[in-house]
Homo-oligomer: A and B are copies of this chain.
Amino acid sequence: MSTEKSEDGTQPSKNALKKAAKEAEKAAKAAERKARQEAEAAAKAAAEVDDAADNYGKLPLNQSQTKTGEHRIQISSLNANAEGHHVLFRARLHTSRAQGSKMVFFAFRQRQHTIQGLLQLKEGHVSKQMLKWAAAITTESIVLVQGIVARPLEPVQSVTIKDSEIHIAKLFVISSVETRLPFTMDDASRPEEEYERSEKEGIQYNRVLLETRLNNRVLDLRTQTNQAIFTIEHGVCGLFRSYLDSQGFTEIHTPKLQGAATESGASVFKVQYFNGLAYLAQSPQLPKQMAIAADFERVYEIAPVFRAEDSNTHRHMTEFMGLDLEMAFEESYDEVVDLLDSLFLSIFEGLSSKYASEIALISKQFPAEPFTWRKKDQGGTLRLRFSDGIAMLKEAGAEVGDLDDLSTENEKWLGRLVKEKFHTDFYILDKFPMAIRPFYTMADPEDARYSNSYDFFMRGEEILSGAQRIHDASLLEAEMVKKGIEPASMKHYVDAFRLGCPPHGGGGIGLERVVMLFLKLNNIRRAALFPRDPKRLVP
């Protein structure tokens, strides 16, 4: 069949031929136009080849495949004297802002420190493509920055390092953010009062609630405030240990898995232990006393303690860090109180001198009157008898029984009264009523209604509880029976005292409470990396 024939075998009409010719002409024109466009695009591309392609981009996944040995700096080491230095560093992209099409401003962050970076169009070095790419990097990505240190025209107010900035030569992404951030660092770092002020002024900031922060704790912890809070917490532990080390203490580690529900059965977590049960230690009370009976003389431990109490308050957690100590004494438990007192002064002084910049940084988000205490040359720490504390409360109008425990309210009230009268945020309440203390507490030798026991307070809240302990097995058993505890349930503990034990006392400090109250963070969860409470077991 000839190609000239139409498909149905008929001859083509004149009109059909005309139409075909027109279409062919149209197609030819389109082809011509396309070829011209392509030629133009090629010409344009040739004119805009990215001569900075090696200076930016996402780096391949680090599997330790490359070792250049190039030195990378900490931005905190930079100052005006570093002007002109070539530097290389890894940092978070804190913020970025393009200015026109030729410049991008960055803030780079390393923990508590931020520095300004500047990326500027520069032929052969920084291309338009690089600028566009850099401006689009998600904040919180981890970047590798290479550049030259410059002195800014005027101090950079928006960052912590004000007298230096980086003129960026190369910029790479090491690890990028692969999700929508639930909040910005700026929003998470704003003090409460700023929300309130701005709302009055008609500005709407995103308030980041504590619950949201804790649900996204990894992001929340990155704020400069939080980096500083946990630096302080590190400081408290270090100061605690270094003071006790200087006083001849031995650090011990006591088991958290206990064979019996000790102290008070109600608030103990049960653990499935193979075919039986174990219990999580509520404190190292029993083993640390047993260490004294085992001749360790002075011991301390920093370890988690577990409380199965369904308390949903600003100052309770189901797991928190106990700073515990126990020591034999020679004559009187005053030796223990004196040591604990000196320990706290050493911690307060250490924090104030070594961590002044962290304290200042945190106070921007959590404004507070500085924590005050009476130094040794100001008469030393105030020691009140419990009965004197009750008298102060009564005088102020509180209805409280002489031998009643202090309610949280009265505790805070007494704190305010003490602050007014004695100008201190730190004091000791001694000689608590016997009936409200644990079974192992030694009674006062003169008045058996009271005991050789004490609490320490910061800003009106209890942060340490301690006492002289009973070191006589028979007396201990008698006290256990009085409190309804079966001595056989703590056989190993009681037996320790039958082997001879020196008089001793000690105390347990709540780490997160000390940090919360020293910094006035208002909620204990802010002082715990990943807090645990009756409603929270993640993250």
Contact with B along A210-237 (1 / 0, CB 8 A): 0000000111011000010011011001
Q: How far apart sit A237 and B495, CA to CA, in the bound complex (Å)?
A: 30
Q: How far apart sit A496 and B230, CA to CA, in the bound complex (Å)?
A: 19
Find chain B residues with CB under 8 A from A468 CB.
63-64
Pick the residue among B62, B273, B318, B331 that contacts A67 (CB under 8 A): B331
Q: How far apart sit A270 and B295, CA to CA, in the bound complex (Å)?
A: 35
Taking a contact as CB atoms under 8 Å apart, the answer to whether A310 and B274 are in contact is yes
Least CB distance from A384 to B in Å reads 18
Pick the residue among B218, B291, B472 that contacts A496 (CB under 8 A): B218
Taking a contact as CB atoms under 8 Å apart, the answer to whether B142 and A179 are in contact is no
Taking a contact as CB atoms under 8 Å apart, the answer to whether B254 and A64 are in contact is no
Q: How many chain-A residues does the 8 Å CB contact rule pick out? A: 114
Contacts of A295-314 to chain B: CB distance below 8 A:
295-297, 302-304, 306, 308, 310
Taking a contact as CB atoms under 8 Å apart, the answer to whether B250 and A230 are in contact is yes
Contacts of A456-504 to chain B: CB distance below 8 A:
468, 471-475, 492-493, 495-496, 498-503
How many protomers of this protein does the assembly include?
A: 2
Least CB distance from A314 to B in Å reads 19
Taking a contact as CB atoms under 8 Å apart, the answer to whether A499 and B177 are in contact is yes
Find chain B residues with CB under 8 A from A145 CB.
none
Least CB distance from A245 to B in Å reads 7
Find chain B residues with CB under 8 A from A287 CB.
529-530
Interface check A263, CB cutoff 8 A: no
User: Using a CB–CB distance below 8 Å, which chain A residues touch chain B?
Assistant: 61-69, 72, 90, 92, 109-111, 140-142, 174-179, 181, 217-219, 221-222, 227, 230-231, 233-234, 237-238, 241, 245, 250-260, 269-274, 276, 278, 280, 287, 290-291, 293-297, 302-304, 306, 308, 310, 318-319, 321, 328, 330-334, 442-446, 452, 468, 471-475, 492-493, 495-496, 498-503, 511, 528-532, 534, 537-539
Minimum CB distance partner of A308 in chain B: B274
Minimum CB distance partner of A493 in chain B: B539
Find chain B residues with CB under 8 A from A531 CB.
255
Find chain B residues with CB under 8 A from A280 CB.
271
Minimum CB distance partner of A292 in chain B: B218
Pick the residue among B218, B443, B495 that contacts A293 (CB under 8 A): B218
Pick the residue among B110, B251, B255 that contacts A319 (CB under 8 A): B255
Pick the residue among B245, B304, B495 that contacts A179 (CB under 8 A): B495
Besides A63-B442, A255-B530, 8 new A-B residue pairs in contact (Cβ under 8 A), listed by A number = A66-B332, A67-B331, A175-B503, A218-B290, A218-B492, A256-B256, A260-B538, A303-B304
Q: How far apart sit A332 and B306, CA to CA, in the bound complex (Å)?
A: 39
Taking a contact as CB atoms under 8 Å apart, the answer to whether B295 and A254 are in contact is no
